[in-house]
Amino acid sequence: MEFLQNIFYYWTDSLDPRLLYMPIINSTYQLPLIIFAYMYFVLVCGPRYMKNRPPYSLKTFIKLYNIVQFVANMWLVYSFVNAGIVIRKLFCPVEMDYTRNPVTTKLIRCAWGYFLLKLLDYVETVIFVLRKKNNQVSVLHVYHHVSTAIIAWLGIRYYCTAPMILICIINSFVHSVMYIYYFLASCGPDTQKMIAPMKPWITIMQMITVILWWTLLLKILDLTETVLFVLRKKNEQISVLHIYHHVSTVIIICIFMKYTANEIITLVPLLNCSVHFIMYNYYLFSSFGPRIRMIIAPCKRYITIIQMVQFCILIAYAAQSSLSDCKSVRNLGYIFILNVTINLCLFYKFYQRTYITKAK
């Protein structure tokens, strides 16, 4: 019972005091009502209303809507950066700050504007329904809009401070690109043909923003690989390199996500996930039998080379932390460089033993 009371208290009373006068953010029931109304219209009421009616054109409205979204998202990106928080706090993470100085006041207003834009995104689904584009009202589409609004509401309500700015900036920038594409696409078939090659890249940009959140979970999932070696009695593969690499990677990512989860570390998961994508594709094909393994065997050494190149890039990238004025980030940078250097040495030793010595 006490646990439920604590949850209720946190939900209702632990609001950032600076947000008391921000509509919707300061309420615990307004957003659920908005989401309910949105889902009821796009899934039930809207399709029923349009069932025996011709689709609306809405061309002028769509152009205006896309322009408004583009301008609003670009304004948010500019406002966040103009506040100076990103530049001044690039290396050093920010603790919770409930003061009412000009910078935090501007941050709050921008964050609230960002949340309102997530609600404005609902208009897109309404347009799909009124134009009878029901195939575009997919589970992905509805879930994305609903979950984004909820996450934005929670983040602003309970953690309205600088560390969440990167998410807002990336998301707003992606949306500004996306809506200018939609605007150009609404200008006619000729324009659509010209900008068609851009469409896959917009989806890729959206996917990249999600990848960052799953990096830590993937590193933990990598530990399953060692369990498989044990269960299959492949004990020779459980080397010092293997165990150290997996354990140290999880620890390092936990430390960095806890103490310096900002834009400076985004290259690390992107690079590492790219390498692991190649590596696990190789493992997948290797599991198809001896014949496939023989065909792809020459690729194996290059996977190790790619991993070592990755470590060299990360060492050079992390070296810039020594330029930071923030002592904690410098120390974390030194730890990261030390760990990556150890991994590089172990991988090189493995490469030398497996491919150079055996070749001789």
Given the residues 145, 245, 246, 276, select the one marked as catalytic: 245
Average pLDDT, the chain: 72
At what angle are helices 165-185 and 59-82 packed, to 10 degrees? 150
pLDDT band of residue 336 (cuts 50, 70, 90) is confident
Between 88-97, 181-190, 196-205, 316-325, the lowest mean confidence (pLDDT) is in 88-97
pLDDT digits (tens, 9 = 90+) for 251-285: 655 555 554 544 455 566 667 667 767 776 777 77
| pLDDT the model gives residue 261 | 47
Residues found in the chain: 360
CA angle 351, 354, 360 (to 5 degrees): 110
Q: Using CA atoms in the order 118, 124, 126, 129, what is the torsion angle rounded to 10 degrees? A: -140
pLDDT digits (tens, 9 = 90+) for 134-154: 888 888 788 888 888 887 887
The full set of domain ranges for the chain reads 16-196, 254-356
**Sign of the four-CA dihedral 134, 135, 138, 144:** negative
Would residue 141 show up in a list of annotated catalytic residues for this protein?
Answer: no
Between 42-46, 115-119, 254-258, 312-316, the lowest mean confidence (pLDDT) is in 254-258
**Sign of the four-CA dihedral 18, 22, 25, 27:** positive
Give burial (CB, 10 Å; 0-12/13-18/19+) of 218.
Answer: middle
The residue with tokens 């600076």 is: 18
SS (H, E, C) the chain: CHHHHHHHHHHHHCCCHHHCCCCCCCCCCHHHHHHHHHHHHHHHHHHHHHCCCCCCCCHHHHHHHHHHHHHHHHHHHHHHHHCCHHHHCCCCCCCCCCCCCHHHHHHHHHHHHHHHHHHHCHHHHHHHHHCCCHHHCCHHHHHHHHHHHHHHHHHHHHCCCHHHHHHHHHHHHHHHHHHHHHHHHCCCHHHHHHHHHHHHHHHHHHHHHHHHHHHHHHHHHCHHHHHHHHHCCCHHHCCHHHHHHHHHHHHHHHHHHHHCCCHHHCHHHHHHHHHHHHHHHHHHHHCCCHHHHHHHHHHHHHHHHHHHHHHHHHHHHHHHHHHCCCHHHHHHHHHHHHHHHHHHHHHHHHHHHHHHHCCC
| pLDDT the model gives residue 268 | 65
pLDDT band of residue 92 (cuts 50, 70, 90) is very low
Between 23-27, 41-45, 148-152, 200-204, the lowest mean confidence (pLDDT) is in 200-204
Mean per-residue pLDDT, 230-234:
65
User: Is the separation of the CB atoms in 152 and 113 below 8 Å?
Assistant: no
pLDDT at residue 202 is higher than 50: yes
pLDDT band of residue 356 (cuts 50, 70, 90) is confident
CA 315 to chain centre: 23
pLDDT band of residue 49 (cuts 50, 70, 90) is very high
List Cβ neighbours of 44 (8 Å cut-off, separation of 6 or more): none
Of 39, 54, 45, nearest to 125 (Cα)? 39
> Higher confidence at residue 91 or residue 344?
344
pLDDT band of residue 54 (cuts 50, 70, 90) is very high
**Half-sphere exposure at residue 196, Cβ-oriented, CA atoms within 13 angstroms:** 6
Give burial (CB, 10 Å; 0-12/13-18/19+) of 171.
Answer: buried
User: Is the separation of the CB atoms in 269 and 211 below 8 Å?
Assistant: yes
pLDDT at residue 38 is higher than 90: yes
| pLDDT the model gives residue 68 | 85
**Half-sphere exposure at residue 216, Cβ-oriented, CA atoms within 13 angstroms:** 11
| pLDDT the model gives residue 150 | 86
pLDDT digits (tens, 9 = 90+) for 234-250: 665 556 555 665 565 65
| pLDDT the model gives residue 93 | 45
| pLDDT the model gives residue 136 | 83
Q: What percent of the chain has pLDDT over 70?
A: 54
